[in-house]
Amino acid sequence: MPKAYLSIEHLGITFQSGAKSSEVLRDVNLQVDRGEFVSIIGHSGCGKSTLLNVVAGLLPVTTGAVILDGMAVDSPGPDRAVVFQNHSLLPWLNVYENVRLAVDKVFRNGKSRAERHAWTMHNLALVHMAHAKDKRPSEISGGMKQRVGLARALAMEPKVLLLDEPFGALDALTRANLQDSVMEIHAQLGNTVLMITHDVDEAVLLSDRIVMMTNGPAATIGEIAAVALDRPRNRIAVDATAPYVAARHAVIEFLYARHASVREAA
């Protein structure tokens, strides 16, 4: 049987502070296929962002391993691009320069100057931001900043796109528009995506599978729900369909049961 494109194997993360240790994740196992969109959801403190940071190579594993396309992940690299809730754009650079910076870093030896310019503009066009290429971050909205951050990540041509609650700080309408853009880009590129979210409807709308984490400490994967919705997806058309309702119910039931047990134990 062929191995998964991204494989998280018996992953454990323990933080040490002096004589005290805190086990954040325990025996996490997840296989993600090439081109799959997987969301990770769970209550605060369940280690979602820690898991994403390990896949990004920003945190070392304590036990287990992360394998991407046959290679162990042990440090950051351009094959994994992260989009955070905070856009992290450099304020002294304009939109074009923020994306071009990543393009030059990754492709300086692989593309000519003209090709790097064309690639930068191509990725700005993907997120509908080519028109604002000369504006600085202070001159554009929060949603536009996130589009630029997404363009910068995509411009690196990562094997896996890692999204850490990228729409969490946006208003509902802007969030919906960006979700639609992410679906459009995923359909066009067929890229592999791992996304952290607190939003059940967002997870169901965007994902092929939803990974539900147990509560921490020593959190692990509790259940995985498949989203049996055809692509492309239209949020209005799928909202009342049986697969959408079933996936949403499965996630809410899981989270409610876990949340109830935390309240009772408190």
Confirm whether 75 is domain-assigned: no
Pair of tokens at residue 254: 């899981």
In degrees, to the nearest 5, what angle opens at C-alpha 42 toward C-alphas 41 and 47?
A: 100
Confirm whether 119 is domain-assigned: yes
> pLDDT (tens digit, 0 to 9) for every residue of the chain, 266 residues total?
567 999 999 999 999 888 889 999 999 999 999 999 999 999 988 899 999 999 999 999 999 999 999 999 999 999 999 998 887 899 999 999 999 999 999 999 999 999 999 999 999 999 999 999 999 999 999 999 999 999 999 999 999 999 999 888 788 899 999 999 999 999 999 999 999 999 999 999 999 999 999 998 899 999 999 999 999 999 999 988 999 999 999 999 999 876 555 444 44
Give CA–CA dist 144/88, Å, rounded: 13
The predicted pLDDT at position 17 comes to 84
β-pairing, 160-164 vs 80-83, is parallel
Amino acid at 3: K
Domain that residue 106 falls in: 85-157
What's the predicted TM-score (pTM) here?
A: 0.92
The predicted pLDDT at position 168 comes to 83
Give CA–CA dist 195/179, Å, rounded: 12
Give CA–CA dist 243/210, Å, rounded: 13
Amino acid at 1: M
The predicted pLDDT at position 85 comes to 83
Confirm whether 95 is domain-assigned: yes
For residues 219-236, b (16+ Cβ closer than 10 Å) or e, as one string?
Answer: bbbbeebebebeeebeee
The predicted pLDDT at position 169 comes to 78
Confirm whether 122 is domain-assigned: yes
β-pairing, 37-41 vs 192-197, is parallel
Q: What are the CA-CA distances from residue 220 to residues 45, 203, 217, 248 (Å)?
A: 12, 18, 9, 20
Confirm whether 257 is domain-assigned: no
The predicted pLDDT at position 257 comes to 74
The predicted pLDDT at position 266 comes to 41
Name residue 16's beta-bridge partners: 21
Confirm whether 105 is domain-assigned: yes
Confirm whether 142 is domain-assigned: yes
The predicted pLDDT at position 228 comes to 94
How many structural domains comprise the chain? 1
Confirm whether 116 is domain-assigned: yes
Query: Are the C-beta atoms of residues 47 and 109 closer than 8 Å to each other?
Result: no
Give CA–CA dist 72/70, Å, rounded: 7
